[in-house]
Amino acid sequence: MKWTWVLVVVLLSFGSISLGKDSLDFPEYDGKDRVHDLNAKNYKSVMKKYDIMVVYYHDHPGSSRAAQRQFEIEELALELAAQVLDEFDDEDIGVGLIDAKHDKAVAKKLGLDESDSIFVFTEDEVIEYDGELAADTLVEFIYDVREDIISQLIFILLSELKGFKNIEEDIKLVGYFKSHKSEHFEAFADAAEEFHPHILFYATFNPKVAKALDLKLNEVDFYEPFMDEPVVVPGKPYSEEELVKFIEDHDRPTLRKLQPHNMYEIWEDDVDGEHIIAFAEESDPDGFEFLEILKQVAEDNTDNPDLSIVWIDPDDFPLLLPHWEKTFGIDLSHPQIGVVEADDADSVWLDMDDGEDLPSADELEDWLEDVLLLCKINVMLYTECAVHHMDVFYDDEL
């Protein structure tokens, strides 16, 4: 093995004379306007200029000062994202706005129904971004979109298996194929494209890796988040359609993590109008312990289609913390689990005595069973699993 030195002549991108800390400094907004206002006249020519186009189809901002300022914040976030994306030399990435009041027709022509959403147009497809409107989260999503599907299918080496196992927050699939040219690999890669960049696809052509993963030729394993053991996708070899169908049937995990880049997507995917929400701070000893219990419960109940626990690490959402504490009436310095109505945030929480007295996996399972049963009864009675009806059945003790 040869280690060669590469001497890098530094190109200072900001041309400033003071060079101090330049390599670390956050990009400051350079004042150049990059975000396009798309309308019926210009949208075709603007979009033709870029390889990837990020479009924020926004509601028309209200006239109050707060609404105006809020829209300004959103615009500035997009300007900052556009400036950062502009630094890539090999690809042109543009950012544009469509106003839902003035340019609904343009949105319609582009196939956009839902306003207040961000869409990423690539050569082949339109990908919806259902995350936080913040420059960093959005830019990171675009990085994932940019990645070539095939290079995303990292051909894992034996030495990388530990790292592969360590990825547990997202759904991932791994397949073993003869080579790049195998038609079964092609079907796998085509299926990957359908879910890119939301679901991770890995492939290996290495028999040793396959053996370590217990994968037969042309077989694909599906890993739910936080599950050590995968499910073998049945019926190998698979067509693209079979793989797509399997994934669509299994894309609501038993335990899933709310993350800035997927928060709205998960929130919209409620179960009977309700979410089971668990707050646990992984970097806190009691949060970590509670998370271990949640993982245990998820593993034991992975076959229950009614159960999907949304894990929120408060560290990921510092700006929402006081709002959640107020809305839910809970103290988020300790782990919490409860049922929250998706539409009006009515909620019921398990009393865990400020985290001093965490439930065992079995106790938590009993509680969850009761909650799900109550939900079913409520759905029959009221057509929804209404949290505010739960106290009809239970007084203050379970």
* Residues in 9-38 at the binding interface with a second copy, rule: CB under 8 A: 9-13, 19-24, 26-32
Q: What's the CA gap between 271 and 256, in Å, rounded?
A: 13
> How is residue 249 written in tokens?
């049937």
Torsion of CA 360, 365, 366, 368, to 10 degrees: 130
Q: Based on CB atoms, which residue is closest to a second copy, 34 or 236?
A: 34
Q: Which stretch binds a second copy (CB under 8 A): 39-47, 164-172, 236-244, 377-385?
A: 164-172
Asked if 162 is part of the footprint of a second copy (rule: CB under 8 A), the reply reads yes
Q: Calculate Rg over the CA atoms of the chain.
A: 24
Helix, coil or strand: residue 126:
strand
Query: How distant is the alpha carbon of residue 152 from its chain centre?
Result: 16
Q: Based on CB atoms, which residue is closest to a second copy, 244 or 278?
A: 278
Asked if 228 is part of the footprint of a second copy (rule: CB under 8 A), the reply reads no
CB of 270 to a second copy, least distance (A): 10
Beta bridge partners of 56: 97, 118
The widest CA-to-CA distance across the chain, in whole angstroms, is 73
* DSSP H or E segment with residue 36: strand 36-37
> How is residue 379 written in tokens?
């759905």
Among 229, 234, 329, 376, binds a second copy (CB under 8 A): 329
Among 239, 250, 302, 349, binds a second copy (CB under 8 A): 349
For a second copy, how many residues bind (rule: CB under 8 A)? 115
By the 8 A CB rule, do 25 and 93 touch?
A: no
Binding mask 353-372 for a second copy (x = CB under 8 A): ----xxx---x---x-----
Q: What's the CA gap between 201 and 170, in Å, rounded?
A: 11
Asked if 63 is part of the footprint of a second copy (rule: CB under 8 A), the reply reads no
Asked if 382 is part of the footprint of a second copy (rule: CB under 8 A), the reply reads no
Among 100, 199, 217, 350, binds a second copy (CB under 8 A): 350
CB of 103 to a second copy, least distance (A): 23
Site for a second copy in 169-198 (CB under 8 A): 169
Rounded alpha-carbon distances, angstroms, from residue 106 to 103, 110, 113, 125, 252 = 5, 6, 11, 17, 33
Beta-carbon count within 10 A of 256 CB: 22
Q: What's the CA gap between 122 and 128, in Å, rounded?
A: 11
By the 8 A CB rule, do 260 and 294 touch?
A: no
Asked if 227 is part of the footprint of a second copy (rule: CB under 8 A), the reply reads no
Site for a second copy in 234-253 (CB under 8 A): none
Site for a second copy in 121-140 (CB under 8 A): 132-133, 135-137, 139-140
Asked if 64 is part of the footprint of a second copy (rule: CB under 8 A), the reply reads yes
By the 8 A CB rule, do 228 and 202 touch?
A: no
Asked if 283 is part of the footprint of a second copy (rule: CB under 8 A), the reply reads yes
Q: Which stretch binds a second copy (CB under 8 A): 35-43, 82-90, 94-102, 229-237?
A: 82-90
Among 108, 180, 288, 373, binds a second copy (CB under 8 A): 288
CB of 153 to a second copy, least distance (A): 12
Q: Based on CB atoms, which residue is closest to a second copy, 52 or 390?
A: 390
* DSSP H or E segment with residue 202: strand 200-204
* 177 φ, ψ (degrees, to nearest 5): -130, 165
Q: Based on CB atoms, which residue is closest to a second copy, 80 or 220?
A: 80
Among 242, 346, 369, 384, binds a second copy (CB under 8 A): 346
Beta-carbon count within 10 A of 205 CB: 16
Helix, coil or strand: residue 168:
coil
Q: Based on CB atoms, which residue is closest to a second copy, 27 or 207?
A: 27
Site for a second copy in 260-279 (CB under 8 A): 263-264, 267-268
